Amino acid sequence: SIGPLVSATRDADPAVAALACDALGRFGGDASVGPLTIALASRDPMIRRRAAIGMGEAGLPATTPALSNAARANASHALGATFNRESDPEVRWRLAWAIARGYFGTSAPVMRRMLGDREELVRRFGVYGLGKLKDRANVTAVRLLARDPSWRVRVEVRNALKALRDLTVVNVTPPPVPASDNFTPQPVAKGTPIGDH
């Protein structure tokens, strides 16, 4: 399947190319890194999003076949370079996800840059990746987000600081539930067709 999937990453239909990138990353091993690197430079953000996901899947430790050291280094470099030039917020957080989950060991500078991003998911994955490194050189950078406006980021900061053996107290009190969510839903009427509503 790898040969046809590599070809499909260049398909004229962006939906086909995007899904091929996603699938290729799940089991393509070293053969996936080159085509996914090319897809990360696509003009279509949907393809770039799926290429980031595919690259992230390829870099997970449990993925078979595992990436060789050379392929992992190339993938890490491609993700970092793409993150540095990417402007689409949806693509940026998927790049951050991929880097933090599968390439954190070689991406500390990029993850530190993520901490100042305007998107909360990017900041969250930056903190998550730095926490996985367990390098105390990152304590100050992570600690600066202890008062982040996003509750999800603050929870990740608390977890990372714990992994980094830092005793800074982080307020992780969840935000209040919006009034619009504080009601009991009405039952679906009898005789309603089966399916999504």
Query: Which percentage of the chain shows pLDDT scores above 70?
Result: 97
Q: What is the pLDDT of residues 123-163, one digit of tens each?
A: 999 999 999 999 999 999 999 999 999 999 999 999 999 99
Q: What is the pLDDT of residues 4-17, one digit of tens each?
A: 999 999 999 999 99
DSSP, residue by residue, 108-123: HHHHHHHTT-SSHHHH
Q: What is the pLDDT of residue 115?
A: 97
Q: What is the pLDDT of residue 21?
A: 96
Nearest residue to 152 via CA among 115, 117, 120: 120
- For the segment 81-106, the average pLDDT, to the nearest whole number, is 96
Contacts of 47 (CB under 8 A, 6+ apart): 14, 17, 18, 21, 39
Gap between the Cα atoms of 74 and 142, Å rounded: 27
